Structure 1
């Protein structure tokens, strides 16, 4: 009986050790941004001068194919971050962006559509529950409190404080995002690439939210103007039947799924940019 109990305890301890080992292995998320595979290339011996045996004559040296010495101090192996750089979103018309190591900027045309940007930025931060540490409304500038950026490739979430400023520049309005602090846990980060990454992420949050505000306003206005839509039938150049709908693209795109489903079609994948919709049609029952 004692032997059986000892074996049972041993099995439980082994199982517990396995669980602890698995948890320890899965808690480190660095593998998601590290190169995988053999690292033996890091042990490659350096180049050395060719030793010429006595009695052998070589052609004159030509420096065209010389391999220059590499004195780079960048990260290699597991220390190399293979994540692609963050790109700014191109969602707003008549805009362009500029990114540097210290700032990310969005340039918009100075027109009536952009006259309420400052109030929109404040509303966006409030909606996303981002607290503001300092604000100067006359200068259109603010500094946020610590923002937590949860990511699947970080063990501990990065936290940043961002400065957002709105300035007129010639015939444009510029939204500038800079960094006022970045840390991971209690450790401050000075890596310029990381600072740039989170400046762009903050700017992308603003771009995406401004685009959604405008899309909602446009859609609401269009839905009211096009409560009744003119629909006609016709033929294309190949004499195939087609339906002509006289309404803006966005209005049709939003209403089309419910119309198709009402005639027995099941809507699958949709691509707004190409205007394509995947449909499944099983026929309508006698009761429809």
Structure 2
């Protein structure tokens, strides 16, 4: 019994030590910004004058091999911030993002849409408070925006001037920093000011891009109407399904359609057009409600590969054993997917 009590105490102390260590580490984010390795190079001796023994004749000197003396005035070792500068991203079609000093700009074609209205909506969608707003001049000043980055020990907050300038066929969104603080102290480092100015510019453009993408997808879906599904084959002769709708529309409708066919999505990757699903057979009443018959698939995990064929899409099923479904299995899924996609 004495041993078990002692052992328990040791475990508790060890557990407490680990918890304290983790708690301490959770507040120290320097490791995300500093060089990984030792700093012995900082202790390297400085260059010294070559002492030539008396009577030795040296070859002629060449300036090509002279190492210039240099003095570093910036941070070194663990104090050096190795993070790359934040870049302003051109997320919108046909846009150009750049920096002029610490002011970020995003230039896009003037398509007639209100970039100013989209900017206001983007700020509100991200809960960024506006201190002053001039709709006539298309210029505003934000309230303090508190940033939350996992690579900072102490978070920053900033205030910005946001404006939209329209010139002919081009609109320019400008984000100018007014103040940046950390721990209540003003930050004057140009790289840090640019980092958080770029972050606001990217947040705005990302939100505008998301809204525009959703609008285009909804418009495409409404134009498509009923979707036809046919059985087919790829270039290698392997069976697949052909969906008479563009990739964007197909990808948008699948998350709602597949569960109606007993397929639950566990993972998806639009970049490579893949979906991971788990299939469970439906009851006879559920198949009847869908308006299709049981395709007699084996229950389990399937991979779906969606291909872009221009105005059509391909859909290929890979069963739990890694085999592509046969032609007859795809034929059985035609009515099922057509009913599910058009519900």
Specify the TM-score bucket, using the shorter chain as the normaliser: 0.7 to 0.9
Structure 1 residues 22 and 280 mapped into 2: Cα distance closer, same or farther (>3 Å)?
closer
**From 104, 119, 122, the counterpart of 2:120:** 122
SS of the aligned residue for 2:82 comes to: coil
Task: Give the TM-score normalised by the residue count of structure 1.
Answer: 0.83
CA contact (8 A) 1:100 1:196 kept: no
**CA deviation after TM superposition for structure 1 residue 82, in Å:** 1.5
State the number of aligned residues: 274
Residues 272 and 101 of structure 1: CA distance in aligned 2, closer, same or farther (over 3 Å): same
In structure 2, relative to structure 1, the CA distance for the partners of 1:238 and 1:19 (3 Å cut) is: closer
State whether structure 2 residue 219 is matched by structure 1 residue 227: no
TM-score by length of 2: 0.71
Q: Cα–Cα, structure 1 residues 74 and 279, in superposed 2: closer, same or farther, change >3 Å?
A: same
- Counterparts in 2 of 1:13 and 1:209: CA distance versus 1, 3 Å: closer
Query: Matches of 1:206 and 1:286 in 2, distance apart?
Result: 47
Whole-angstrom distance in 1 between the partners of 2:210 and 2:170: 21
Structure 1 CA distance for aligned equivalents of residues 117 and 138 of structure 2 = 10
Q: Which residue of 2 aligns with 1:4?
A: none
- Stretches of structure 1 that go unaligned for 5 or more consecutive residues are 1-11
Q: Tell me how far 1:59 sits from its aligned partner.
A: 2.0
**Does structure 1 retain, via aligned residues, the 8 Å contact 2:107–2:173?**
yes
| Long gaps (5+) in structure 2 | 1-11, 285-293, 295-343
3-state SS of the aligned residue for 1:252? helix
CA deviation after TM superposition for structure 1 residue 42, in Å = 1.3
Tell me the secondary structure at the aligned position of residue 143 of structure 1.
Answer: strand
Which residue number corresponds to residue 55 of structure 1?
55
- Sort the Cα spacing of 1:17 and 1:144 in 2 relative to 1 into closer, same or farther, 3 A: same
Question: CA 1:222–1:45 in structure 2 vs 1: closer, same or farther (change >3 Å)?
Answer: same
Deviation at 1:170, TM superposition (A): 4.2
In the other structure, the counterpart of 1:42 is 42
What is the root-mean-square deviation in Å for CA atoms of aligned residues?
3.0
Partners of 1:265 and 1:279 within 8 A in 2: no
* Offset, 1:255: 2.0
